[in-house]
Amino acid sequence: MTIWFLLIGIGIVSMIVQTRFRNKFKKYSEMPLTSGLSGAEIAQKMLHDNGIYDVNIISVEGQLTDHYNPANRTVNLSPEVYHGRSVAAAAVAAHECGHAVQHASAYTWLQFRSAMVPIVSVASKITSFTLMIGVMLAIFSNSFLLLTIGVIALGVTTLFSFVTLPVEFDASKRALTWLDRANITHNVPEHDGAKDALKWAAMTYVIAALSALVTLLYYASILLGRRD
């Protein structure tokens, strides 16, 4: 019963955080950047200021689809960020370049996260199937093998969610430090806006990790309870 309350609670908090983040992004997307630079220009400047010249900056379709791809060394920015000249665009562009800087400097947590990607890719594909069928087999045939595999796979993806947290926090820290040092965020409102936007973006990762942990505890309790 406690697990169910946690699952419901996390679900509600997740919706609140997601809504809050989107509202914050919309608010700071409407706050013009004094420097007048676009997200793409800011990304290029941050990369060059950090001695990085082999990373391409490209525009990708969608909203809030911004990400850094270490495999092909690209900073991928949504159109609103790529062309945007707002505080939100600056914050997001600098954040994604923060990942490129992590990559170039061999940041430990990013290396660990990247090393996990192949196994997480497999685990994420089998998790739903193994958990769903595994629970049924555990109930009706007292067989726990598939459920055990599902719990292990879910444990891997949960660990990945938590490993992602220091990577995201560090990228935001690098972004804010550089934005101030490069005089991109010229005044207090711009600095505070960028910081606030990145804070709520980070909160979505925190909630995702907690949600994964509670889900893991739920299925682990089923496995251990059935075994008893």
pLDDT tens figures, 34-68: 999 999 999 999 999 999 999 999 999 998 899 99
Distance from C-alpha of 120 to C-alpha of 166, rounded to nearest angstrom:
18
Predicted local distance difference test score (pLDDT) of residue 2: 75
The neighbour count for residue 153, using CB atoms within 10 Å, is 22
Is residue 41 part of the annotated active site? The answer reads: no
Residue 186: the pLDDT is: 81
DSSP per residue over 61-79, as a string? SSSS--EEETTTTEEEE-H
pLDDT, residue 227, reads 55
Burial of 182 (0-12, 13-18, 19+ CB in 10 A): middle
Residue 64 — left, alpha, or beta (φ > 0 → left; ψ -120 to 50 → alpha)? left
The ranges assigned to domains in the chain are 2-32+87-227
Rounded mean pLDDT, 69-91: 96
- Reply yes or no on whether the pLDDT at 228 is more than 60: no
Q: Which of these is catalytic: 80, 96, 168, 190?
A: 96
Give the predicted TM-score (pTM) of the model. Answer: 0.90
Helix spans in 55-144 (H): 79-82, 87-104, 108-140
What is the spatial distance between Cα 12 and Cα 150, in angstroms, rounded to a whole number?
25
Residue at 82: amino acid letter: Y
Task: Please enumerate in sequence order all residues whose Cβ is within 8 A of that of 199, keeping only pairs 6 or more positions apart, or say none.
Answer: 172
